[in-house]
Chains A and B, each alone.
Chain A
């Protein structure tokens, strides 16, 4: 235990005063003011693409992010969290663009800037696009603003700079690995509809739109209205090596759906549906790469688009359901990649690759038809939670107070009308009047024949379509239906709805921070980005590519990432680190194995160096993962190159807490029926947590878990 009476020093009080005075001072966002250099292209150079993935699973302790006060402190993890980095380069290193998709709830502006600082030799900050899958089972505490690290943003809220460093370091290492893996490549964009996987969770605001969202595909007969009122568009960017047998480099899928099957109260980190889908796709791509002589492990990523009002079609909220829906999504992606469409480059001409970046001020932000509200405000209905994950504070206040019908003298409230402020006058006290992000980055990228609009928000499908239309109107070149809104990118300002949706002040509209005109404001800015991207004239005051330093209000700092120095070192614990018990849980079909052991503190154990948990033969040899490949009639696969460990989704691992110097840990290994059948013939097995072994067992000779042991093991029944 660090600290204590003996270590207390009187000057801490004085230091505290000084620090608190310092805390009141605005923080400064790191940045580079100069736009990227864009020298004239040299001789035509081939498109190069590199991809790499990196693990970002923190030790348990930080809260999850996404469900506000219902996001509890994590106790362990289910699927690991990861970031997948793709580096695109054409016409030399000066035209290098990076796309990183992370298993996070959102991206903070500070995280994007800090990652860029670590990558200043690899890519300009304005070309580093970080985007979140929007899992609500990723960590909190890396948001610099009081709104997202302060009161009610999660349980045990607080901003932890060490969490920012943890994530930024790993993202940077992933991008550097992708740069190192750059090789000549070719691209293929694929597109198709996916129905009955997602549904519209806010049908009334959706129906209030005029014009409404229109899909280019017709919905199949017989599906529910909520399943019809979605954006079914699945776009897949397939990247292959240009040389040889065209081994896959990676796949990036763009789809509009919250990955929120897991319950709001989960204490397990996990990638939810999108985490499952990427793991399945990685396995599939690895097999293809092997057959084509690929030299690098391929990488898959899922990027969320305009998912603001779109939820998965979930009923149970279990891990098994997340696996089922994730498998469906992966299957749809894989099905599209079977299409043999034209690829870039199909001629000697370079692949269109360019981008524009613009940071805009939202508070009072001006645009042609007016200006946004001078201060962000959460509406009363935002405290209720989305319709498929109602907050525990829902019902505290009756719904009539969600609307402010009467004019008011307060210019902020009047601008935000009919939004009624959440918690009334208490909101600015708790969050501060400058507690929300105000300066945010927008970016537009051309990649092949698609335009990617990176927005730091969750746009409803109708709002997203209006932004896309604005881009296409300004860009021209016949790129209709070729613009994708990439939500949750580079910063976070919650939802952006259409003015019609805003008027109804349901959850999404009440979470639209800067008033009903936000969508028009963004559409206009994206129009200018498109004009600039096509080489047109833009106002001189628009500083494209600049990411300068600016002051912001920083959230209350609290240490939340487990300290790697806290608690006794693993060496000091020595032989006290040991297996406690292993038993069989017959409550599952097929049965699961529960393994408990005593180990170091969360910051000390080898959890962040994947894999930590492995199922091995008693001899120590790895066991292959087994799964059913996509496509009907395919035989089951057991692949030794995909070992059975916690990088899949069979292990549910958690800590129970400290017991003296040691910490008690447990894992629940829940094999699929296919996996369980394969294990029957595998002889004696062992589970290893780092270097601690359960001892050898077979499923049949393991003792049944019962009593208090069973109760403890069932904590992993996510």
Chain B
């Protein structure tokens, strides 16, 4: 019973700042100067992320990001998926004030699949992106937003940049610098029990 009680309380509080995003991402990867023979390539696909807003300020976030993309050029090898851990700072729009927030989130993770002109069984990627979460509902009065759990819907355009490292046995690693853009639809769960 004690375990379930704690689990209930933790779940309730954990939901206080949980963002679930789904959206599209487009990434352009450029070879680093040291490997100018590597191929510039482009990925387009779907991405998802989940962030938990950490107590006590609820502005620091930690979570995970993932993406499944297709390489739109060159097209000889074309699928890639990636997952990453993420950490950052996120000021989401308030229900009663400004409809626009901001966030800066960094990530570090692994990838598999197409990286330019070859497939990597395992690669690494990292990066940092800035986003502008935009609230998709009218502002409401405080007494209309103090429920224990409330969903908020947002559109989050993002721009980011980071290195990608492709690794294949028998080949030397290939570095790329990857600027990327994404547009996410986000469901953010908050709780009227936390600041």
Contact = CB atoms under 8 A, between A and B. Distances in A.
B8 A556 contact: no
Contacts of A658: 138-141
B95 to A, nearest CB: 10
B2 A20 contact: no
B97 A559 contact: yes
Given A69-B193, A151-B194, A401-B2, A5 B102 contact: no
B137 to A, nearest CB: 13
Contact of B2 (A1, A4, A69, A398): A398
A156 interface: yes
Interface residues of B, number: 41
Interface stretch (B53-61, B65-73, B111-119): B53-61
A158 B193 CA distance: 10
B51 to A, nearest CB: 16
Contact of A556 (B13, B57, B99, B141): B57
B93 to A, nearest CB: 8
Interface in B120-141: 130, 132, 134, 138-141
B89 A17 contact: yes
Given A13-B104, A657-B141, A150 B195 contact: yes
Contact of A558 (B5, B140, B195): B195
A150 B100 CA distance: 24
B134 A20 contact: no
Contacts of B130: 13
Contacts of A69: 148, 193
Nearest to A663: B141
Contacts of B33: none
Interface in B134-176: 134, 138-146, 148
A61 B94 CA distance: 14
Contacts, number: 136
A584 interface: no
Given A20-B89, A150-B195, A151-B194, A657 B140 contact: yes
Contacts of B55: 151, 429-430
A149 B195 CA distance: 8
B1 A3 contact: no
Contacts of A60: 141-143
A4 B193 contact: no
Interface in A4-20: 4-5, 7-8, 12-13, 16-17, 20
A158 B145 CA distance: 14
B82 interface: no
A260 interface: no
A655 B60 contact: no
B36 interface: no
A16 B89 contact: yes
A16 B100 contact: no
B1 A20 contact: no
A401 B56 contact: no
Contacts of B139: 1, 658
B56 A431 contact: yes
B9 A75 contact: no
A426 to B, nearest CB: 6
A441 B6 CA distance: 35
B2 A155 contact: no
B100 A72 contact: no
A431 B10 CA distance: 14
A429 B194 CA distance: 13
B98 A430 contact: no
Given A5-B134, A151-B56, A430-B13, A396 B5 contact: yes
Contact of A156 (B1, B13, B60, B145): B145
A426 B13 contact: yes
Given A16-B89, A60-B143, A658-B139, A401 B97 contact: no
Contacts of B142: 60-63, 73-74, 156, 560
Interface in A397-428: 397-398, 400-401, 423-424, 426
A136 interface: no
A429 B9 CA distance: 13
A303 B110 CA distance: 64
A16 B91 contact: yes
Interface in A50-85: 60-63, 69, 72-75
Nearest to B138: A658
Nearest to A397: B5
Nearest to B90: A16
A159 B132 CA distance: 26
A430 B13 CA distance: 9
A5 B132 contact: yes
Interface string A368-412: 000000000000000000000000010011101100000000000
A44 interface: no
Contacts of B140: 657-658
A12 to B, nearest CB: 6
Contact of A426 (B10, B134, B194): B10
Contact of A423 (B6, B59, B100, B132): B6
28 contacts: A3-B97, A3-B98, A3-B99, A4-B99, A5-B134, A16-B59, A17-B89, A17-B104, A61-B141, A61-B143, A73-B142, A73-B192, A74-B143, A75-B141, A149-B195, A151-B195, A152-B194, A155-B192, A267-B143, A401-B5, A426-B6, A555-B195, A556-B58, A559-B97, A560-B142, A657-B141, A657-B144, A658-B138
* 8 nearest CB pairs, A to B: A3-B98, A397-B5, A155-B146, A556-B195, A158-B195, A73-B142, A73-B143, A75-B143
Given A69-B148, A267-B143, A429-B56, 10 more contacts: A20-B89, A151-B193, A156-B145, A157-B195, A397-B5, A430-B56, A556-B195, A559-B97, A657-B143, A658-B139
